[in-house]
C-alpha cells in the first residue's frame, strides 16, 4: 500500500473532556451509559440529587469518544450520538474529544470494535473477578492505527455499507418474527374459542430416564433458555463432580421445561443434534401419549396465554422462588383441536420460524463478514479498494 500508516498513543489524538456539572437539588438531569457488546451509548433517563449519590457528573457532547472503564473488554465503546448531546455521565464513562484533523471518532470506534483488540484489553486488565478498571491512562497509552484521513473515511464508508445491510435484514427479521407471533396468537385464540378442553396430563406425560452415574465418566448437560429461546449445552462435568445429583437422559423430540423459569416461557423441544445429553431434575421431559406432535405444545406454551398458564402454576416470589408446580400444570385444562388442525398449525408455524431463522442466519453471516473485512483493512491485509469492491 502506498498510503502511510502510523501507530500512535490514543492520547496523542484525543483530549479528555471533563466538563463538570455540580448537581443542584430540584433539577432533573439527563444521564447516559454505554452498553456491552457494541450496543453503544444509551439514555439512562433523568436523575436528581435524590436518585444518585454523586455530587458531580460530566457532560457529554455529540461526537465524543466514550467507553465504560469497567466493561471495556466487553466492547463497551461508542461515539456519543446527537440524541445524547448534553447528557451526564459518571467518571466510569470517560469522555474524549478527538483531534478531527488527525482522526475520526468513528474510525477510532471501529478499531476498538475488533474482537482481537478487546481480547488484548482483557489480558491487560488486572484485578479480582475481572472488575478492574481500564482507566484513562490505559486508553491514552494504547497504540491505535492512524492512516491518512482519506483512508479513514473510506474504511468508515465500507463498514457503514455493511451496517446498512445488516440493519435492513435485522428489521426484516423483526417483521417476520412479529408476523409469526401474531399468527400464532390468532390461531391459538381461535382454538381456545372452538376446541374441546383437555387436561394437560392427558396430552403430555413426564418421561424419566435416570442416569446411572459413573464417577470416571463425563456427562454433557443441557439448559433451557427463557422466552422460548431454545436449548443450550453446558460444559461437560465428571461423574465425580455430579456426586449425588440426580440427572436424567434427554432425547431428541422431548418437550423440556425449565421449572425454575417456566414463568418466563422456558420451554423447548430437544433438537436432533442434542444426543447423549442429560439434565437435572429441574428440566423434566415430556412426550405425547396420544401420538400428537410435542411441537404443538411448545407453540402453545409460547403464546401469551401459555406463558400466563405457566406463571399461574409457578407460585411464589420472583426468580428462583417461582418453581413450577407440575401437578397443578398437568391438572390444568387447555384447548386441544383435532390432530389435523394441530398438524396444520405446526406446519404453518414451522415454516414461519424457518423464515425468521434464515434471515437471522444471514445477519450473523454478514456480521462475521464485517468483522473479517474490518480486521483485514486495519491490519492492511487487503487494499481498501478491494474491500470497497466486496460491498458494492
> Which residue is it, cell 466493561?
71
In a domain, 170, yes or no: no
My answer on whether 206 and 331 are in the same domain is yes
Q: Select from 312, 336, 360 the last residue of a domain.
A: 336
Residue 74 domain-assigned (yes or no) = yes
Which tens digits make up the pLDDT trace of 182-224?
A: 999 999 999 999 999 999 999 999 999 999 999 999 999 999 9
Give 175's Cβ-side CA count (13 Å radius): 6
Question: Residue 319 half-sphere exposure, CB side, CA atoms within 13 Å?
Answer: 1
CATH label of the domain that carries residue 307: 3.90.220.20
Q: Which residues pair with 257 in a beta bridge?
A: 267
Query: Do 115 and 228 fall within a single domain?
Result: no
94 & 206 share domain: no
Euclidean distance between CA atoms 211 and 247, whole angstroms: 6
The mean pLDDT of the chain is 94
Query: Is 265 among the domain residues?
Result: yes
Q: Are residues 112 and 226 in the same domain?
A: no
Indicate if the pLDDT at residue 319 is higher than 60.
no
Q: What is the pLDDT of residue 335?
A: 97
Same domain, 244 and 125: no
pLDDT at 317 over 90: no
Residue 207, domain member (yes or no): yes
- pTM (2 decimals)? 0.85
Most confident of 4-8, 307-311, 387-391: 307-311
Closest CA to 125 of 180, 46, 171, 69: 69
In a domain, 137, yes or no: yes
CB 307 within 8 A of CB 265: yes
Share of the chain above pLDDT 90, in %: 88
Q: What are phi and psi of 60, to 5 degrees?
A: -90, 150
Alpha helices in 4-91 (DSSP H): none
Contact between residue 10 and residue 134 where contact means Cβ atoms under 8 Å apart: no
State which of 336, 352, 374 marks the end of a domain: 336
Q: List Cα–Cα distances, 233 to 210, 270, 295, 388, in angstroms.
A: 19, 11, 20, 39
User: Do 115 and 13 share a structural domain?
Assistant: yes
Question: 133 with 203, same domain?
Answer: no
Looking at the structure of the chain, the number of domains it has is 2
- b or e along 151-188 (b: 16 or more beta carbons within 10 Å of the residue's beta carbon)? bbebbeebbebbeebbeebeebbeebbeebbeebeebb
Domain-located, residue 227: yes
- Could you give the C-alpha distances from 215 to 8, 131, 211, 264, in angstroms and in order? 55, 36, 12, 34
Q: How far from chain centre, in Å, is Cα 227?
A: 12
For residue 3, the model assigns a pLDDT of 66
Q: Establish if 30 belongs to a structural domain.
A: yes
Same domain as 223, residue 134? no
Segment 344-364, tens digit of pLDDT:
999 999 999 999 999 999 999
Residue 131 has pLDDT above 80, yes or no: no
Do 106 and 221 reside in the same domain of the chain? no
Instruction: Quick: pLDDT tens for 148-189.
Output: 999 999 999 999 999 999 999 999 999 999 999 999 999 999
Query: Is residue 128 very low, low, confident or very high in pLDDT (cuts 50, 70, 90)?
Result: very low
% of the chain surpassing 70 pLDDT: 97
In angstroms, the CA 12 to CA 139 distance is 11
Same domain, 130 and 228: no
DSSP state of 388: H
Is residue 183 in a domain?
Answer: no
Task: List, for residues 65-95, the tens digit of each pLDDT value.
Answer: 999 998 788 899 999 999 999 999 999 999 9
Distance CA 311, CA 330 (A): 14
Q: What is the mean pLDDT of residues 293-301?
A: 98
Which residues constitute the domain of residue 307? 196-336
Amino acid at each position: 500500500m502506498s498510503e502511510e500508516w502510523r501507530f500512535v498513543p490514543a492520547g496523542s489524538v484525543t483530549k479528555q473532556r471533563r466538563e463538570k456539572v455540580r448537581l443542584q437539588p430540584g433539577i432533573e438531569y439527563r444521564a447516559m451509559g454505554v452498553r456491552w457488546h457494541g450496543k453503544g451509548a444509551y439514555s439512562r433517563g433523568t436523575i436528581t440529587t435524590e436518585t444518585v449519590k454523586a455530587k458531580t457528573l460530566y457532560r457529554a457532547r455529540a461526537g465524543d469518544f466514550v467507553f465504560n472503564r469497567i466493561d471495556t473488554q466487553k466492547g463497551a465503546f461508542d461515539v456519543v450520538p446527537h440524541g445524547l448531546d448534553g447528557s451526564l455521565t459518571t467518571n466510569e464513562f470517560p469522555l474524549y474529544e478527538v483531534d478531527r484533523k488527525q482522526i475520526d471518532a468513528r474510525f477510532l470506534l471501529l478499531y476498538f470494535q475488533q474482537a482481537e483488540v478487546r481480547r488484548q484489553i482483557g489480558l491487560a486488565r488486572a484485578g479480582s473477578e475481572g472488575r478492574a478498571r481500564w482507566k484513562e491512562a490505559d486508553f491514552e497509552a494504547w497504540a491505535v492505527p492512524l492512516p491518512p484521513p482519506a483512508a479513514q473515511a473510506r474504511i468508515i464508508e465500507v463498514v457503514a455499507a455493511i451496517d446498512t445491510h445488516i440493519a435492513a435484514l435485522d428489521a426484516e427479521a423483526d417483521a417476520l418474527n412479529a408476523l409469526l407471533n401474531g399468527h400464532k396468537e390468532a390461531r391459538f385464540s381461535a382454538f381456545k374459542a372452538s376446541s374441546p378442553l383437555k387436561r394437560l396430563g392427558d396430552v403430555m406425560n413426564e418421561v424419566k430416564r435416570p442416569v446411572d452415574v459413573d464417577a470416571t465418566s463425563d456427562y454433557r448437560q443441557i439448559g433451557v433458555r427463557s422466552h422460548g429461546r431454545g436449548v443450550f449445552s453446558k460444559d461437560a462435568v465428571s461423574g465425580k463432580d455430579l456426586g449425588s445429583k440426580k440427572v436424567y437422559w434427554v432425547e431428541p423430540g422431548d418437550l423440556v421445561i425449565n421449572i425454575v423459569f417456566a414463568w418466563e416461557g422456558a420451554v423447548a423441544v430437544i433438537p436432533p443434534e442434542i444426543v447423549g445429553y442429560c439434565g437435572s431434575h429441574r428440566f423434566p421431559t415430556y412426550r405425547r401419549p396420544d401420538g400428537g406432535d410435542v411441537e404443538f405444545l411448545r407453540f402453545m406454551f409460547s403464546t401469551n396465554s401459555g406463558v400466563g398458564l405457566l406463571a399461574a402454576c409457578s407460585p411464589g416470589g420472583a426468580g428462583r422462588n417461582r418453581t413450577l408446580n407440575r401437578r397443578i400444570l398437568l391438572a390444568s385444562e387447555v384447548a386441544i383441536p383435532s390432530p389435523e388442525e394441530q398438524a396444520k398449525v405446526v406446519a404453518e408455524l414451522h415454516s414461519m420460524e424457518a423464515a425468521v431463522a434464515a434471515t437471522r442466519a444471514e445477519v450473523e453471516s454478514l456480521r462475521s463478514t464485517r468483522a473479517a473485512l474490518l480486521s483485514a483493512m486495519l491490519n492492511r491485509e487487503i487494499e481498501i479498494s478491494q474491500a470497497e469492491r466486496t460491498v458494492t
